[in-house]
Amino acid sequence: MAALLGAMFVFSIVMAATFELARAERVYDYLGMVKLVLGPAWPLFEIAYLLIILLVLAVVSSAAAIIFADRLLLDPTSAALIFPVLVLGLLLLKRSALESAFSFWSVLIYCGYIALFVATFSLFGNKGIPADGTSISANSIFSGIKYAGYNLAAIPAVLFVLGHQTRRRQAILSGLLAGPIAMIPAVLLFFAMALHYPAILSEPIPLTLMLEKIGSPTFALIMEIIILGTFFQTAIGFLNSINERVDGAFKRSGYSALGQLGRAAVGVVVLGIAKLITLYAGLIELIANGYGTLTYAFLLLFALPVVTMGVWRIFRRGQSAQVSPTATQEDAV
Q: Is the pLDDT reported for residue 46 higher than 50?
A: yes
pLDDT digits (tens, 9 = 90+) for 178-236: 888 878 877 888 888 888 877 777 776 788 888 888 988 999 999 989 989 989 988 98
Instruction: Please answer whether residues 227 and 67 qualify as being in contact, where contact means their C-beta atoms are separated by less than 8 angstroms.
Output: yes
Instruction: Please answer whether residues 64 and 70 qualify as being in contact, where contact means their C-beta atoms are separated by less than 8 angstroms.
Output: no
CA 189 – CA 185 distance, rounded (Å): 6
Mean pLDDT, to the nearest integer, of 111-136?
A: 74
Instruction: Please answer whether residues 277 and 197 qualify as being in contact, where contact means their C-beta atoms are separated by less than 8 angstroms.
Output: no
The fraction of the chain above a pLDDT of 70, given in percent, is 84
SS3 state at 249:
helix
| Maximum mean pLDDT: which of 4-13, 35-44, 246-255 | 35-44
Mean pLDDT, the chain, rounded, equals 81
Mean pLDDT, to the nearest integer, of 117-126?
A: 84
Q: Which residues, at least 6 apart from 177, have a Cβ–Cβ distance to it below 8 Å?
A: 12
CA 8 – CA 20 distance, rounded (Å): 18
Q: Which domain holds residue 283?
A: 2-332
pTM for the whole structure? 0.77
Using only C-alpha atoms, the chain has a radius of gyration, in whole angstroms, of 21
Compute CA distances 300 → 35, 55, 208, 249, whole Å. Answer: 14, 19, 35, 26
Mean pLDDT, to the nearest integer, of 141-167?
A: 74
Strands (E), 34-157: none
pLDDT at 333: 58
Q: Hey, how many other C-beta atoms are within 10 angstroms of the C-beta on 253?
A: 7
pLDDT at 43: 92
Strands (E), the chain: none
The enclosing domain of 28 has a CATH number of: 1.20.1740.10
pLDDT at 325: 45
pLDDT digits (tens, 9 = 90+) for 272-282: 888 887 777 66
Q: Output phi, psi for 74, to 5 deg.
A: -105, 160
Confidence of residue 142 (pLDDT cuts 50, 70, 90): low
| DSSP state, residue 258 | P
- Least confident range from 64-68, 151-155, 202-206, 249-253: namely 202-206
The total number of structural domains in the chain stands at: 1
Q: Identify the residue with better confidence: 159 or 116.
A: 116
Confidence of residue 321 (pLDDT cuts 50, 70, 90): low
